[in-house]
Chain A
Amino acid sequence: MKTIEMHGIRKIYPDGVIALHGVDFEAEEGEIHGLLGENGAGKTTLMRILYGEIRPTEGEIKVLGRRVRYRNPRDAIKQGIAMIYQHFSLVPTMTVLDNLYLALATINPRITRNEVEARAKKLIGETRLKIPLDKVVEELPAGVQQRVEILKALIRDARILILDEPTSVLTPLEAEELFQSLKKLKEKRMTIILITHKLREVKAITDRVTVLRRGIKVGTVRTSEVTEAQLARMMVARDVELVLEKPPGIQPGREVLRIEYLWVRNSEGVDVLKGVNLSVREGEIIGVAGVQGNGQTELAEAIAGLRRPYRGRIILDSKDITMLDPMSRYKLGISYVPESRRNGLIHEMNLIENSVLTSTYSYIGRYGFIDWGRAVETALKIIKEYDINPPNPYTMVKNLSGGNQQKLLVGRELVKKPRVLVVSEPTQGVDVASTEFIRRKLLELKTRGVGILLISTDLDEVIQLSDRIIVMYEGRVIGEGRTEEFTLEKLGLLMGGISA
């Protein structure tokens, strides 16, 4: 029996970005349905629409055969839909039982704690989920917290369970346990939707899989009838638009940056980089491909000095910089364009003040005063070379469009004439003209002998600009080679965690 039917779902955001171009989606009772796609394919958007969190611009949704129009997730929860995000929505300082009580009390204010406890114990007995009810949530490992989320869904009588990249926060063992639990729930005729980009997971646990690409449904297939390679192709296939011509073969020079066996932990103590090696030479663009959250951000931050590795070395021009702070590294010629404009620009300051953010040391004059005259010159230079509108250096950054902000961010790091540029998502959320402009500037910088590490989840960008590509998966370099050696299918497989 079909539990979910979504027809012609379109979502256009107020700024004109089209997230979904009329997608159809169906899921049945008692199946685990995979939803596969790259970043920005629209997987999460589609499910948030089902969950009542986002309203579709157009389209029809039927749940259990009835047409629905949710105003908010509460409506969806009442009809038995539950969604579990990567970041759990539990109150960390409360016990598991209190969290469950809170979850139930929002839909049934008269329920008592004893009733909640009785129901929770019964469910734990039936599903054999190992959950300590009296423990404080923040003291539990991620895998157990996730089980609490599942129990929270069950106790609200959910029949349809949506999980958004559920294994991204889990250890392999915890992931295995999760899959066992999901299989049990499937036997109880629940509908489970698994949003993921990991091909192996899709193969291991789903019955059917729907693939989305750039807001369009590529197709729904029986998992047993396709190979991983076919899925990879469905996920990434596209006409690569080679609008930019790579500058004719400049010979990469000597090595400027070397990363040796780098290990980094995140704030939760989980390894996010697991022994990464790489090398960047003068006049070479190394593209780092991969689905978001596989260690690329941490790699960039480790090179910039914003994150301390606990093992391994970072070498710039044969000088070990592993222990240096960010400013010392910037002085030595590292430039870093972070993926988020929010972290790289100060919206409440003007262009001039933003132009010197990462190079204040070279503007300090007598008595610790900044040479604002020179700062104005730099701002004007960035405005001119990067065609920033309006061309007034006193404009507040918050009043610039996204494209102009991005040009300022990239321009600021490029006019510093770095030895090595680490650039993360240089064209994310930027209009077509600015995208092309920024890409040209990166190629220009390369011909001037700068070593560039280009981190991007946009495959087109990586393929168009890079001389060599490395693919990251779960904190490791899973594939590496010259750009010509990669087919789209191979890239797709690698991004999905399958090497060779």
Chain B
Amino acid sequence: MPEASNYMRIVKVIIEEAVSLLVGFAVAVIILLFSGYEPLSVISILFSEGFRNTEVLMKQSIPVIATGLAFSIPALAGLFNIGGESQLYIGAFTGLVSTYIIYNATGQPVLSSVTGLVSGTLAGGFWGFIIGYLRARRSVNEVVVAIMMNWTTYYLVLYLIVSRFTDPIYSHMSVFVPASSRIPDVLGFIMIAGVAVLTYIVLRYSSLGYSIRVAGLNPKAAVYAGFNLEKIFITAMSISGAIAGLGGALFVLSVIYSIDTTMSAIYGLGFLGIGIGLLGRNNPIGVVLAGLFISGLQFGGQWVELRTGAPPYLTDVVIGIIVIALSATYTYELLVSKLRRG
């Protein structure tokens, strides 16, 4: 059973994060001062507005929790998944289109949304599988494949929306999820949080989770133990793609309902997931908390813009610094242990 009595470690993590947070804020304050904005008011707006509306917060955090998990699972196996972005796109698009088609064909709201979620998950999973397969069987670097897939998928989805699935009334939007097929309230968040808990349990207690962690911590020992590294890589990538795909489908079905033709509502959420995975220290529960935290800051950032006129880039910089500061200690430890192993 993985470490049960490690209060000391948890306390250590909390202290580290608190210190990092303070450092992050200190740097942010300096930058704000230099840019001529009132640091205290910017930061207070960021937090008070960002975390005011719990429902919005939960809904906004769905895709980044998903891509955060999609980063963390392969990271535990020793892989770097930068493809959460494309896995999210394809999940969102497939989820949207299949819900739309099934609803129009059958008129069944539950059937259509379930089909949407399942197909979004499968599509994302397949996207992840491609990366894992190429890495395991053809030794192609997973980062290169993932980056290429991100762009390919971006234009593929744009093309499909513009050419086949444009909304008849709003020409800059895709078709909409039929009103009765939409996932109500915070059910979407509960589902992704449920997936996170499930991921946590699988990673910690199942033989699959065990082999993933062994592969990440010591690949030679994994081979010695008789685990098939290729299979582990492919499985970890497929699962992570599936979760990102599910996140995309859930986001479309419960929050945005349609994808605009610049993809502005989903662009960048996969990359943000990397920061969230690091911030959550690759712990699924930590990822949920990190996802909520970052979504709150992002949402608060929009209010900062409204209230103080600070450009959105500035709040992005502030959020970026905070994320870097928070994940720096962990990344540092990660690097040190990797280097030590040589």
Identify the A interface with B (CB < 8 A). 304-306, 325-328, 330, 336, 338, 342-350, 352-353, 356-358, 360, 363-364, 367-370, 372, 375-376, 394, 396
Query: Given that A348-B337, A370-B207 are known contacts, is A375 also in contact with B1, CB under 8 Å in the complex?
Result: yes
Q: In chain A, what residue has the closest Cβ to B342? A: A342
Query: Given that A327-B226, A338-B224, A343-B221 are known contacts, is A357 also in contact with B214, CB under 8 Å in the complex?
Result: yes
Question: What chain B residues lie within 8 Å of A367 (beta carbons)?
Answer: 206
Q: Is the CB of A349 within 8 A of B217?
A: yes
Question: What chain A residues lie within 8 Å of B3 (beta carbons)?
Answer: 350, 394, 396
* A327 CB, nearest partner CB in chain B, Å: 3
Question: What chain A residues lie within 8 Å of B217 (beta carbons)?
Answer: 346-349
Question: What chain A residues lie within 8 Å of B1 (beta carbons)?
Answer: 352, 372, 375-376
Roughly how many angstroms separate A129 CA and B4 CA in the complex, as a whole number? 63
Q: Is the CB of B5 within 8 A of A370?
A: no
Query: Given that A375-B1, A376-B1 are known contacts, is A370 also in contact with B224, CB under 8 Å in the complex?
Result: no
Q: Is the CB of A344 within 8 A of B213?
A: no
* A351 CB, nearest partner CB in chain B, Å: 11
Roughly how many angstroms separate A364 CA and B227 CA in the complex, as a whole number? 14
Roughly how many angstroms separate A343 CA and B206 CA in the complex, as a whole number? 22
Question: What chain B residues lie within 8 Å of A353 (beta carbons)?
Answer: 2, 210
Roughly how many angstroms separate A97 CA and B70 CA in the complex, as a whole number? 46
* A50 CB, nearest partner CB in chain B, Å: 26
B residues 59-106 in Cβ contact with A at 8 Å: none
Query: Given that A350-B2, A394-B5 are known contacts, is A344 also in contact with B210, CB under 8 Å in the complex?
Result: no
* A489 CB, nearest partner CB in chain B, Å: 37
Identify the B interface with A (CB < 8 A). 1-6, 205-208, 210-211, 213-214, 217-218, 220-221, 223-228, 337
Q: Is the CB of B214 within 8 A of A346?
A: yes
* B332 CB, nearest partner CB in chain A, Å: 16
- Between A347, A356, A363, the greatest number of chain B beta carbons within 10 A of the residue's beta carbon is seen for A347
Q: In chain A, what residue has the closest Cβ to B213? A: A349
Q: Is the CB of A370 within 8 A of B211?
A: no
* B210 CB, nearest partner CB in chain A, Å: 6
Q: In chain B, what residue has the closest Cβ to A326? A: B226
Question: What chain A residues lie within 8 Å of B211 (beta carbons)?
Answer: 360
Roughly how many angstroms separate A327 CA and B221 CA in the complex, as a whole number? 13
Q: In chain B, what residue has the closest Cβ to A360? A: B207
Partner of B207, one of A325, A342, A368: A368
The 4 closest A-B pairs by CB, nearest first: A327-B226, A326-B226, A372-B1, A343-B220
Q: Is the CB of B218 within 8 A of A368?
A: no
5 A-B residue pairings within 8 Å (CB atoms): A346-B218, A356-B210, A360-B207, A368-B206, A370-B205
Roughly how many angstroms separate A385 CA and B221 CA in the complex, as a whole number? 24
Partner of B220, one of A325, A342, A364: A342
Query: Given that A348-B337, A349-B217 are known contacts, is A330 also in contact with B226, CB under 8 Å in the complex?
Result: yes
Query: Given that A349-B213, A350-B2 are known contacts, is A357 also in contact with B205, CB under 8 Å in the complex?
Result: no
Roughly how many angstroms separate A370 CA and B2 CA in the complex, as a whole number? 11
A327-B227, A328-B226, A348-B217 given. 18 additional CB < 8 A pairs? A304-B224, A306-B223, A325-B228, A338-B224, A343-B220, A343-B221, A349-B213, A353-B2, A356-B210, A357-B225, A358-B225, A358-B226, A368-B206, A368-B208, A370-B206, A372-B1, A394-B5, A396-B3
- Between A344, A352, A358, A370, the greatest number of chain B beta carbons within 10 A of the residue's beta carbon is seen for A370
Q: Is the CB of B224 within 8 A of A358?
A: yes
Question: What chain A residues lie within 8 Å of B6 (beta carbons)?
Answer: 394
Q: Is the CB of A369 within 8 A of B218?
A: no
* A123 CB, nearest partner CB in chain B, Å: 34
* B223 CB, nearest partner CB in chain A, Å: 6
Question: What chain B residues lie within 8 Å of A396 (beta carbons)?
Answer: 3
Q: Is the CB of B206 within 8 A of A360?
A: no
Roughly how many angstroms separate A363 CA and B4 CA in the complex, as a whole number? 19
Query: Given that A364-B207, A369-B207 are known contacts, is A344 also in contact with B223, CB under 8 Å in the complex?
Result: no
Q: Is the CB of A343 within 8 A of B2?
A: no
Roughly how many angstroms separate A363 CA and B213 CA in the complex, as a whole number? 17
Question: What chain A residues lie within 8 Å of B214 (beta carbons)?
Answer: 346, 349, 357
Q: Is the CB of A360 within 8 A of B210?
A: yes
Question: What chain A residues lie within 8 Å of B224 (beta carbons)?
Answer: 304, 306, 326, 336, 338, 343-344, 357-358
Roughly how many angstroms separate A363 CA and B211 CA in the complex, as a whole number? 13
Roughly how many angstroms separate A328 CA and B227 CA in the complex, as a whole number? 11
Query: Given that A343-B220, A353-B210, A357-B214 are known contacts, is A372 also in contact with B226, CB under 8 Å in the complex?
Result: no
Question: What chain A residues lie within 8 Å of B228 (beta carbons)?
Answer: 325
Roughly how many angstroms separate A367 CA and B208 CA in the complex, as a whole number? 10
Partner of B4, one of A305, A346, A394: A394
Question: What chain B residues lie within 8 Å of A327 (beta carbons)?
Answer: 225-227
Q: Is the CB of B221 within 8 A of A325?
A: no
Q: In chain A, what residue has the closest Cβ to B340? A: A347
Roughly how many angstroms separate A346 CA and B4 CA in the complex, as a whole number? 17
Roughly how many angstroms separate A375 CA and B220 CA in the complex, as a whole number? 22
* A406 CB, nearest partner CB in chain B, Å: 15
Question: What chain B residues lie within 8 Å of A358 (beta carbons)?
Answer: 224-226
* A72 CB, nearest partner CB in chain B, Å: 20
* B261 CB, nearest partner CB in chain A, Å: 43
Roughly how many angstroms separate A343 CA and B341 CA in the complex, as a whole number? 11
Roughly how many angstroms separate A389 CA and B48 CA in the complex, as a whole number? 52
Question: What chain A residues lie within 8 Å of B4 (beta carbons)?
Answer: 394
Roughly how many angstroms separate A7 CA and B211 CA in the complex, as a whole number? 53
Question: What chain A residues lie within 8 Å of B210 (beta carbons)?
Answer: 353, 356, 360, 370
Roughly how many angstroms separate A376 CA and B1 CA in the complex, as a whole number? 7
Query: Given that A326-B224, A343-B221, A344-B221 are known contacts, is A369 also in contact with B205, CB under 8 Å in the complex?
Result: yes
Q: In chain A, what residue has the closest Cβ to B220? A: A343
* B76 CB, nearest partner CB in chain A, Å: 11
Q: In chain B, what residue has the closest Cβ to A345? A: B221
Roughly how many angstroms separate A370 CA and B226 CA in the complex, as a whole number? 16
Question: What chain A residues lie within 8 Å of B213 (beta carbons)?
Answer: 349
Question: What chain A residues lie within 8 Å of B2 (beta carbons)?
Answer: 349-350, 353
Q: In chain B, what residue has the closest Cβ to A325? A: B226
Question: What chain B residues lie within 8 Å of A356 (beta carbons)?
Answer: 210
Q: In chain B, what residue has the closest Cβ to A338? A: B224
Roughly how many angstroms separate A350 CA and B227 CA in the complex, as a whole number? 19
Roughly how many angstroms separate A452 CA and B218 CA in the complex, as a whole number? 27
